[in-house]
Amino acid sequence: MAEKLKGKEVSASLREELTKKVEELKGKGITPKLGVIRVGARPDDLYYEGGIKKTCGGIGVDFEVFEYPEDVDQDSFEKAVKDVANNKDIHGILLFSPLPGSLDEPIIRDLIPVEKDVDCLTVGGAGKVFADDPEGFPPCTPTACMEMLKFFNIPLEGKKAVVLGRSMVVGKPMAMLLLRENATVTICHSRTKDLPQVCADADILVAAVGRPRMVDKNYVSAGQIVIDVGINEDPDNPGKFCGDVNTADVEGVVGQISPVPGGVGGVTTVILCKHTILACEKQTT
Ligand code: NAP
């Protein structure tokens, strides 16, 4: 049976390290602070926001939500985002997306200064990540996946890694981060031919498709390492979540697998804190 790569172990170790770092900063009179910008009150945004607040509180990072009504107009919202961007007490900014269709999201995103772009929402931030410039923060989810692989001592150099999904928030930056560690990376998507075979050929498979339990035993092979990024409403259990991987179907085949829930998701909010602390250090020293 596959070993479960539990996010809790990774988060606990990171939290300890980050709490110490925040104590050191506070000793110098500096408190890292994350600003969250939210338009409207979508349940998934509120759920994520609650998790971030709890994680920040536990580590000692300050947290403030800047909330705007769903019908906020472009000009007022641009001014509001610029105010948060220019606030010297705020070191990291997260903007919940998608924004309502009445707002020009690419313009709004790029108002976030790259040094405060802790979840890679700006074109400038993404450029730095793709150029391997350490000044750019990769998005928190792929960074959490890398942190899991590192924590469980999974070798990447020379390994065949397949990333299933090509979004800017998960798939593409995930591929870049694996490449940085000298894995040989293939990115798959909805037009990939012979998809199950390409996935099964990997040493490491990262599933980020947003399709409940799509990755079944046809997509995996013996001993493979599987990172399940998916967070989907479980079609079989209303109100519950499931991953992109059919764990019951593959766990007798693969070597190691991250569970959903209990895998990457919980590590992601800790990474958001980590990036905010790093941004704070860079802005204050
Ligand atoms: P997304 O923007 O919808 O992208 C999904 C990707 O999967 C696309 O590249 C799409 O291909 C590909 N895809 C969809 N159906 C496919 C199929 N049948 N065969 C092959 N490829 C297919 O999703 P995302 O934002 O990257 O998120 C992916 C998953 O991760 C979701 O379940 C999301 O909830 C989860 N997520 C988790 C976290 C976390 O913290 N753990 C954070 C963010 C997202 P095309 O490009 O060809 O359309």
Domain count of the fold of the chain: 2
Under the banding of pLDDT at 50, 70 and 90, the label for residue 266 is very high
Percent of the residues in the chain that have a pLDDT greater than 90, as a whole number: 98
Confidence of residue 83 (pLDDT cuts 50, 70, 90): very high
pLDDT for the residue numbered 285: 82
- Model pLDDT, residue 89: 98
Atom of ligand 1 nearest to the CA of 189: 21
Residues 185 and 87 in one domain: no
Residue 281 has what pLDDT? 97
Instruction: Note whether 102 and 149 are same-domain residues.
Output: no
Domain membership of residue 123 (yes or no) is no
- Nearest-angstrom CA–CA distance, 150 and 35: 28
Average pLDDT, the chain: 97
CA of 209 to the centre of ligand 1 (A): 3
The reply to whether 168 falls in a domain is: yes
Residue 210 CA: which ligand 1 atom is closest?
Answer: 32
Positive or negative, the CA dihedral 269, 33, 24, 50 is: negative
Task: Please give the average per-residue pLDDT across 157-171, as a whole number.
Answer: 98
pLDDT in tens, 9-38: 999 999 999 999 999 999 999 999 999 999
Per the domain annotation, does 16 fall within a domain? no
- CATH number, domain containing residue 201: 3.40.50.720
Are 153 and 198 contained in the same domain?
A: yes
**What per-residue confidence (pLDDT) applies to 18?**
98
**Bridging pattern class, strands 241-242 and 232-233:** antiparallel
What values do phi and psi take at 205, rounded to 5?
A: -120, 125
**What pTM, to 2 d.p., does this model score?**
0.97
> Averaged over 108-129, what is the pLDDT?
98
Average confidence (pLDDT) over 271-281: 98
Above pLDDT 70, what percent of the chain?
100
What value does the mean pLDDT take over residues 85-96?
98
What is the domain extent for residue 38? 28-115
Q: Which residues contact 162 (CB under 8 A, 6 or more apart)?
A: 185, 186, 187, 188, 198, 199, 201, 202, 204, 205, 206
Name the residue of 94, 167, 174 whose CB sits within 8 Å of the most ligand 1 atoms, as the mutation to test its pocket: 167
